[in-house]
Amino acid sequence: RYLRDDDMPQAFQDLLSSLPLEEDWFPSLRLYQGFWFPSSLLSGIFNCQNHFQAYLSDILLVTNPKSGTTWLKAILFALLNRAKYSNSDSQGCHPLLTQNSHELVPYLEHKLYLEQENPDLSALASPRLLATHLPYSSLPQSVSDSKCKLVYLGRNPKDTFVSMWHFTNKLRPEGKGQIPIQECLNRFCRGVSPYGPYWDHVLGYHKASLEKPEKVLFVTYEQMKLDPRAHVRRLANFVGCPLNEEELRDETVEGVLRMCSFDNLSSLEVNKSGKLWNGLESKLFFRRGEVGDWVNYMSAEMGERIDGVVDEKLHGSGLKL
Ligand code: A3P
């Protein structure tokens, strides 16, 4: 269902062969515009950068992989569609109960522009809710030029790393065994991880959120966990669908949070046994869903190593993750 690299224009073939390759990470990564992208997604990135036309009303959800994208997509989808599914009858057929949030909020480079060079996205319901892992500096020009909104979800690097290590192991071909965590850590600390360097990814969006607060909202997984109610309100305000007085009094926010909770989503049949557009099992996107789970997989020294590298890179930015 995907475009093959061979079918892409010559300009892409020339570009691809010129990019540094990191084969040891599964799947392999290529260095492009200062970031390590999964090789298999480069055609989607190239097409998206060349063709995506942002609308003023677009809402783009952005994350580093394994930062809680599945959760953020579910919350924004539920918030934007709450009027449609507000009465108890329609709650029973809420799309989030039968479809994974990655199907409801598609990725640009990972789905839409990987399947077609220039898909027609004009018929998508407005506001279009889309997602990407692209770094700020690699966004399509029309996104930077337009006043569309970007919501960025950051996450503690140690938890992001451990989540990524688990996910990468699950993607490995059968019989290949686990990648030793130390090996993965060495690469992560060199900046080599999908869409990494991790710190450049978060810094790009953090800086943009300070410079253009009306365009970029920077939230963290940990903040959302700590005070989910306040952050649902913050998200709703930012994307232009604030909760009204009545919704603030009734169970609307609690309903969104309950629907999108790890326990609820991970127990749904679609997320236990379903598959995504790319053949990946939906259950891979639900593991523990906790803050601080890294301590169960890394020594204190390994944790300090990540902190050391990340703190140094974030120094002076005002950002602490
Ligand atoms: P862990 O591996 O730490 O459990 P992404 O969606 O960006 O791929 O990130 C996946 C991480 O988000 C996983 O973290 C996963 O368990 C967690 N997650 C998925 N759904 C969640 C939810 N509804 N609430 C909180 N965390 C969730």
Query: Could you give the CA distance from residue 161 to residue 65 in angstroms, rounded to a whole number?
Result: 10
| CA nearest ligand 1 atom 18, residue | 289
Q: Is the pTM of this model over 0.80?
A: yes
Site to substitute for ligand 1 among 64, 70, 102, most atoms within 8 A of C-beta: 70
**Residue 43: which of 7, 70, 67 has the closest Cα?**
7
| CATH number of the domain encompassing residue 301 | 3.40.50.300
Split into its structural domains, the chain has a count of: 1
* Domain span holding position 109: 5-314
Task: Report if residue 321 sits inside a domain.
Answer: no
Per the domain annotation, does 319 fall within a domain? no
Asked, for residue 178, whether it belongs to a domain, the answer is: yes
Q: Phi and psi (nearest 5°) for 151? A: -110, 120
Q: Which atom of ligand 1 is nearest to the CA of 166?
A: 2
Q: What is the pLDDT along the chain (321 residues), one digit of tens a residue?
A: 678 888 898 989 999 999 999 987 778 999 999 999 999 999 999 999 999 999 999 999 999 999 999 999 999 999 999 999 876 666 678 999 999 999 999 999 999 999 999 999 999 999 999 999 999 999 999 999 999 999 999 999 999 999 999 999 998 888 888 899 999 999 999 999 999 999 999 999 999 999 999 999 999 999 999 999 999 999 999 999 999 999 999 889 999 999 999 999 999 999 999 999 999 999 999 999 999 999 999 999 999 999 999 999 999 999 999
Residue 86 lies in a domain: yes
Kindly indicate whether the ipTM for this predicted assembly is greater than 0.90, answering yes or no: yes
* Residue 227 to residue 213: CA distance in whole angstroms: 21
Cα of 51 to ligand 1 centre, how many Å? 30
Among 66, 77, 158, say which to mutate for ligand 1: greatest number of ligand atoms within 8 Å of CB: 66
CA 48/CA 178 separation, integer angstroms: 33
CB distance 159 to ligand 1 below 6 Å: yes
Q: Examine residue 268 and state whether it is found in any structural domain, yes or no.
A: yes
- Does the beta carbon of 65 sit less than 6 angstroms from any atom of ligand 1? yes
